[in-house]
Amino acid sequence: MDNLLYWIGLVAVAVNALTGVLDAGRKRMDLVGAVMVGTATALGGGTVRDVLLDRTVFWISDQTYLLVAIATTLVVFFAVRGLKLPQRLFLIPDAIGLALFTVAGTQIALHWHAPWLVASLLGVTTGVVGGVLRDVLCNEVPLVFVRGELYASAAWAGALVLIGLQELAVSPVVAAWAGMAVILLARLLAMAFRITLPTYTERQ
Amino acid sequence: MDNLLYWIGLVAVAVNALTGVLDAGRKRMDLVGAVMVGTATALGGGTVRDVLLDRTVFWISDQTYLLVAIATTLVVFFAVRGLKLPQRLFLIPDAIGLALFTVAGTQIALHWHAPWLVASLLGVTTGVVGGVLRDVLCNEVPLVFVRGELYASAAWAGALVLIGLQELAVSPVVAAWAGMAVILLARLLAMAFRITLPTYTERQ
Amino acid sequence: MDNLLYWIGLVAVAVNALTGVLDAGRKRMDLVGAVMVGTATALGGGTVRDVLLDRTVFWISDQTYLLVAIATTLVVFFAVRGLKLPQRLFLIPDAIGLALFTVAGTQIALHWHAPWLVASLLGVTTGVVGGVLRDVLCNEVPLVFVRGELYASAAWAGALVLIGLQELAVSPVVAAWAGMAVILLARLLAMAFRITLPTYTERQ
């Protein structure tokens, strides 16, 4: 499981870095701006989780994450530069990053002996904060707060599946895959069919 | 005193969660968005204080705070939904939350052996950061920076009263009530009579 | 070297507080708003560095920094109030603050046994975050992300010079001055001659 978690973390960092660069590109940032936004998107969620848990920040204790984030941003910057990409393309890697980070964050919080409710919320935080940082730095309303499609709720559902299955003695590896599948499916279906939660005001 | 602090903390969390949901409602967020904004408003200030003091984050060491925050947001969301509330209504719970959180934050920083100036500023931080988060997440200029009415200055005055009275050997419980009264009164009077501090530029 | 670092830190705090107040003034904030923005600009970068390194936050362990920040904001507020200053004036103290904070932040991270890549990025963080906070609180697009002139890249170059020279057995004091000179020169030349990095999209 530890091995799986490590790889999930690395892939999540790369995928989130990718979405950060794509978003920075739409704002026509320069090389260093794009690298900074990509790196913040990749490392932001896990950093907040580690600070809240008073754990050594993951990219300080293991530089591999930092190198993967920077390398990904550089490759994407030069590969995609000048191409015309459809605006909503980055929503798919964004959903993948959400699934990977939420599961990794929840599992790490459980290892750190957080109670289940706290662990599930720290998992959602890990999944969501990177994208919030990206959107704030690019001066957009964070995707997670956009009314309509499931986002944080999809992440929370997946975190609870991950925790619940392990309570039922399912192996952590299977539980992790199930949690990620729930998040990814819920998010993609919500985007495809515009599934929404109740909103606050019916009338205005 | 510890008992009083605990209750002050719980009420402050509930009151701030309420203001967060009311604000999220005006932006027509959905259920999860409103819960997230309400919870961030409720827990943000104390979280920053604890991270700066290198203390275990209060809602991780005691889940009650988290449960109170989430329960309040859910109740308020469904209770207020569809009602038409006057725009400035949430300013009164906001002032109560400011008073409660500033006093709780200052006292906790003193317990943690922070010097008085640092303790008073960490108190102001505890009182103010939740509302700043709420306003940033709802894409508004933070109330605390709006020119005109006393806000952070009211909180700072109350924190200094709390510290000064204890220096004069007044009991912590009395000092806490006095500090809260100062903040609440200063803020409400400032709103009622538009009391302001000098601004930077007279002419433009 | 420790002595030099201490003074660099104090001057950096004062210079950054100055830029924060100047910016708050353009937004016509009141006294407390200006003090808060100035103090956040002065202390923000180092605070994030210390939280990431799990070090006691520098202005909590030594109140001098906090007093310097507040005193500077008060003096500047009353000195400059009512004057008409050229809009871009604050870019020069901003460049000085960037140079001082980046070098101090990098060196502290090295002392704390961070690997070189992490140390250089924490140095850039220390240099850049205060200004980002200032710009976000004043509701502007952060200078560091504005397309065009070198900013974070200048800071990174200086941090790498500081680290590289020490690897080559140059004395830390000389390396620190060299690093600061690189950052200040690169930033000023970039502003004067509009030196830019490649941007993401050529065509639109």
Q: What is the pLDDT of residue A87?
A: 66
H or E segment to which residue C24 belongs = helix C2-26
Q: How far is A8 from chain B (nearest CA, A)?
A: 25
The residue segments making up the domain with residue A96 are: 2-193
Q: What is the pLDDT of residue B148?
A: 56
Query: Per the domain annotation, does B168 fall within a domain?
Result: yes
As a whole number of angstroms, the distance between CA B50 and CA B112 comes to: 10
Selecting from A33, A59, A63 the residue whose C-beta is nearest the C-beta of C147 gives: A33
As a whole number of angstroms, the distance between CA A48 and CA A105 comes to: 10
Q: How confident is the model at residue B141 (pLDDT cuts 50, 70, 90)?
A: low
Q: What is the mean pLDDT of chain C?
A: 85
B23 vs A51, higher pLDDT:
A51
CB contact under 8 A, C152 and A77: no
Number of structural domains in chain A: 1
Q: Which of A27, A30, A56 to mutate to test the interface with C (most CBs of C within 10 A)?
A: A30
Query: Per the domain annotation, does B66 fall within a domain?
Result: yes
Query: Per the domain annotation, does C11 fall within a domain?
Result: yes
Which residues in C32-62 are b (16+ Cβ under 10 Å) and which e? bbbbbbbbbbbbbbbbbbbbbbebebbbbee
CB B80 within 8 A of CB B25: yes
As a whole number of angstroms, the distance between CA B69 and CA B17 comes to: 6
- Report phi then psi at A102, rounded to 5: -65, -45
CB contact under 8 A, A145 and B47: no
Q: What is the pLDDT of residue B90?
A: 78
> Is residue C132 predicted with pLDDT exceeding 80?
yes
Q: How confident is the model at residue A203 (pLDDT cuts 50, 70, 90)?
A: very low
> Is residue B74 predicted with pLDDT exceeding 60?
yes
Query: Per the domain annotation, does C204 fall within a domain?
Result: no
Query: Per the domain annotation, does B68 fall within a domain?
Result: yes
Q: Using one digit for the tens of pLDDT, what is the confidence trace for A58-113?
A: 998 888 999 999 999 999 888 877 676 676 777 888 899 999 999 999 999 999 88
Span C91-115, average pLDDT: 91
Q: How far is A161 from chain C (nearest CA, A)?
A: 31
As a whole number of angstroms, the distance between CA A143 and CA A132 comes to: 7
> Is residue C203 predicted with pLDDT exceeding 50?
no
Query: Token digits for B24?
Result: 């999220």
Query: Per the domain annotation, does B200 fall within a domain?
Result: no
Residue B1 has a CB neighbour count (10 Å cut-off) of 12
- Closest alpha carbon to A117 in B13, B75, B65, B24: B65
- Directed axis angle between helix B31-53 and helix A31-53, to 10°? 80
- Report phi then psi at C23, rounded to 5: -70, -45
Query: Per the domain annotation, does A104 fall within a domain?
Result: yes
CB contact under 8 A, A145 and B29: yes
ipTM above 0.90, yes or no: no
As a whole number of angstroms, the distance between CA A159 and CA A143 comes to: 19
Q: How far is B87 from chain A (nearest CA, A)?
A: 13
Q: Using one digit for the tens of pLDDT, what is the confidence trace for A136-173?
A: 777 666 767 665 567 888 899 999 999 999 999 889 89
Chain C partners of A64 at a C-beta cutoff of 8 Å? Answer: none
Span B11-32, average pLDDT: 83
Least confident of A138-142, A154-158, B11-15, C113-117: A138-142
Q: Using one digit for the tens of pLDDT, what is the confidence trace for C19-72?
A: 888 887 777 677 877 888 899 999 999 999 999 988 889 998 888 999 999 999
Q: Which residue of A has its CA nearest to C151?
A: A32
Q: What residues contact residue B88 under an 8 Å CB cut-off, 6+ apart?
A: none
Q: How confident is the model at residue B123 (pLDDT cuts 50, 70, 90)?
A: very high
CB A91 within 8 A of CB A26: no
Chain B partners of A143 at a C-beta cutoff of 8 Å? Answer: none
Share of chain A above pLDDT 90, in %: 40
CB contact under 8 A, C24 and B196: no
Q: Which residue of A has its CA nearest to C112?
A: A60
Query: Per the domain annotation, does A147 fall within a domain?
Result: yes
